[in-house]
């Protein structure tokens, strides 16, 4: 059989040569044959761009044209796909991405912040220009969750999407647990290990994970990305006490993202939650990510894998490149951007059990007073544990039956008046997983 003529190569321009960019270069160089057989055509890098040309990098870039300006890279006539790995949700990355779309390029990006803030406008621009934006690497690192949600579960009306999607937070929480160290000490460890973003609040404040959740919610529920509506609470207030006490009651504390469509609108929250210690989420250690996808037909699908790092993130970028090389062209969020609904944001008030920790002052009838306040707020107690104490107050842990955040907030606001509670009570939602 004569060899068929070789199909035209897909030509990449890569903007950003940090860890992920170099990871992509390495895969393209190492797996040229594999990629050609899987794509039906060669995949080539033609040009690259980064801030500092002189920096010593762990890859041979001599075969590629160099552009100091990513916008110039995005406008090159010999680039088919603009691969944006610069980061940042304003400035150069946004300008370059817009230039790429305007210049008729497809785009692959790992930039969750950019899409969380400008995803709707970018998707509309791309679709008007007949171009695609793919962003597998923007959410949960090496886990192909965008593909799973957009394609693998596309026959489902999604019910709920959950995930532990910031490896640094999960590292901090599991390290506090295993080493018995306070938050500040482990935060400092994480900083020294290079696990934290330049602005650590992106990690520990839940912002980075919130960006990711907002992208998943858009695909899952066919709504415009609405990062501003994500309820964000970081892990900075989680004490080693809470981790220990939650453990005593059979739970782990996770920074858990949850998006679900309710009768009141779209709930999106990225907050510390308790999950059963023996559940897949509860068992998740260190920097690993996990996403839980629930659909009306499929039930529950759980995906677990590395959430960051050169190889995993580059693997996700390459999945998008290969999709484009194979001629698969999907709208950014799985349906035309113009058809995405404007979501009604709903406060996270869907019923759940809650974990309460409070310091009870040693007075006769103290526990009865607390129980009365809870009862009057319509909260019933599932399990309660009071610890021995040497001080004037004793820790009390309560796991409630299903109730609402509103009821819990109301009860907590009534506790000071009892005169039997010291300090600030802690209330953490227990998510059914």
Residues 211-240, mask of contacts with a copy of itself (x by CB under 8 A): -----------x------------------
Pairwise CA distance, residues 334 & 222, whole Å: 8
Contact yes or no for 416/425 (Cβ under 8 A):
no
Cα–Cα distance measured from residue 142 to residue 137, given in angstroms and rounded to the nearest whole number:
7
CB of 433 to a copy of itself, least distance (A): 12
Binding segment for a copy of itself (CB under 8 A), chosen from 76-84, 163-171, 235-243, 303-311, is 303-311
Least separation in angstroms between residue 377's CB and a copy of itself is: 37
Q: What is the largest CA-CA distance in the chain?
A: 93
Q: How far, rounded to the nearest angstrom, does the alpha carbon of residue 323 sit from its chain's CA centroid?
A: 22
Binding segment for a copy of itself among 23-31, 70-78, 190-198, 257-265 (CB under 8 A)?
23-31
Nearer to a copy of itself, 182 or 334 (CB): 334
Q: What three-state secondary structure class fits 220? A: helix
Choose which of 283, 349, 393, 418 interacts with a copy of itself (CB under 8 A): 283
Residues that contact a copy of itself, how many (by CB under 8 A)? 61
Residues 225 and 242: their CA atoms lie apart, in Å, by 33
Binders in 38-97 for a copy of itself, by CB under 8 A: 38, 40
Active-site pick, 147, 212, 252, 254: 212
Shortest spacing between CB 32 and a copy of itself, in angstroms: 12
User: Positive or negative, the Cα torsion across 91, 94, 100, 103?
Assistant: negative
Q: 147 catalytic, yes or no?
A: no
Percentages of the chain per state (helix, strand, coil), in multiples of 5: 35, 25, 35
C-alpha gyration radius of the chain: 24
Q: How many helices (H) and strands (E) does the chain have?
A: 14, 16
83 or 358: whose CB is closer to a copy of itself? 83
- Distance, CA of 427 to CA of 135 (rounded, Å): 35
The only residue of 108, 303, 379, 396 in contact with a copy of itself, by rule CB under 8 A: 303
Q: Which stretch binds a copy of itself (CB under 8 A): 107-115, 188-196, 289-297, 403-411?
A: 289-297
Fill in the per-residue mask, 326 to 345: x = in contact with a copy of itself (CB under 8 A), - = not in contact: xxxxxx--xxx-xx------
Closest to a copy of itself by CB, 220 vs 370, is 220
CB 174 within 8 A of CB 145: no
Assess 6 for contact with a copy of itself (CB under 8 A).
no
Tell me which residues in 101-160 interact with a copy of itself (CB under 8 A).
136, 142-144, 147-148, 151-157
In angstroms, the CA 267 to CA 156 distance is 19
The enclosing H or E element of 43 equals strand 43-49
Extract the tokens encoding 401: 């039956």
Say if residues 178 and 204 touch (Cβ distance below 8 Å): no
Q: Provide the minimum distance between the beta carbon of 57 and a copy of itself in the complex, in angstroms, as a whole number.
A: 17
The residue among 118 and 134 lying less far from a copy of itself, judged by its C-beta, is 134
Helix intervals (H) in 326-382: 366-376
Q: How far is it, in rounded angstroms, from Cα 126 to Cα 133?
A: 7
Residue 169 CB, nearest approach to a copy of itself (Å) = 20
The answer to whether 302 contacts a copy of itself (rule: CB under 8 A) is yes
Binding site for a copy of itself (CB under 8 A): 1, 23, 27, 31, 34-35, 37-38, 40, 136, 142-144, 147-148, 151-157, 222, 278, 280, 283, 295-306, 309, 311-312, 314-319, 321-323, 326-331, 334-336, 338-339
Question: Which sequence positions are flagged as catalytic?
Answer: 212
């Amino acid at each position: 059989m004569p060899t068929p003529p070789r199909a035209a190569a897909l030509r990449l321009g890569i903007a950003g040569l940090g860890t992920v960019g170099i990871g992509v270069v390495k895969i393209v160089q190492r797996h040229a044959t594999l990629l050609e057989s899987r794509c039906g055509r060669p995949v080539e890098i033609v040009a690259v761009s980064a801030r500092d040309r002189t920096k010593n990098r762990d890859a041979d870039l001599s075969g590629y044209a160099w552009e100091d300006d990513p916008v110039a890279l995005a406008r090159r006539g010999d680039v088919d796909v603009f691969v944006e790995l610069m980061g940042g949700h304003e400035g150069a990355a946004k300008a370059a991405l817009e230039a790429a779309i305007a210049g008729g390029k497809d785009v692959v990006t790992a930039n969750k912040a950019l899409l969380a803030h400008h995803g709707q406008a970018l998707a509309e621009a791309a679709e008007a220009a007949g171009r695609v934006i793919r962003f597998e690497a923007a959410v949960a690192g090496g886990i192909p969750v965008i593909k799973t949600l957009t394609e693998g579960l596309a026959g489902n009306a999604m019910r709920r999407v959950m995930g532990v999607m910031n490896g640094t937070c999960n590292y901090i929480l599991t390290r506090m647990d295993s080493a018995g160290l306070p938050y500040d000490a482990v935060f400092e460890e994480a900083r020294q290990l290079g696990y934290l973003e330049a602005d650590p609040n992106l990690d520990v404040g839940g912002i980075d994970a919130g960006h990711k959740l907002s992208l998943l919610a858009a695909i899952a529920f066919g709504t415009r990305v609405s990062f501003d509506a994500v309820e964000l609470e970081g892990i900075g207030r989680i004490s080693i006490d809470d981790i220990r006490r939650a453990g005593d009651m059979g739970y782990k504390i996770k920074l858990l993202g949850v998006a679900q469509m309710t009768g009141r609108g779209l709930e999106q929250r990225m907050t510390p939650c308790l999950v059963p210690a023996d559940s897949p989420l509860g068992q998740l250690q260190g920097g690993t990510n996990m996403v839980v996808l629930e659909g009306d037909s499929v039930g529950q699908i759980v995906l677990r894998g590395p959430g960051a790092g050169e190889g995993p993130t580059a693997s996700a970028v390459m999945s998008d490149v290969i999709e484009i090389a194979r001629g698969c062209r999907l709208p950014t969020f799985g349906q035309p951007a113009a058809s995405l609904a404007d979501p009604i944001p709903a406060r996270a008030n869907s019923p759940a059990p809650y974990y309460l920790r409070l310091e009870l002052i040693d007075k006769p009838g103290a526990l009865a007073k607390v129980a009365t306040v809870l009862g009057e707020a319509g909260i019933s107690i599932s399990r309660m544990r009071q610890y021995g104490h040497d001080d004037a107050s004793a820790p009390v842990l309560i796991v409630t039956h299903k109730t609402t955040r509103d009821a819990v907030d109301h009860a907590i606001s009534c506790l000071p008046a009892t005169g039997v509670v010291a300090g600030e009570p802690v209330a953490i939602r227990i998510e059914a997983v």
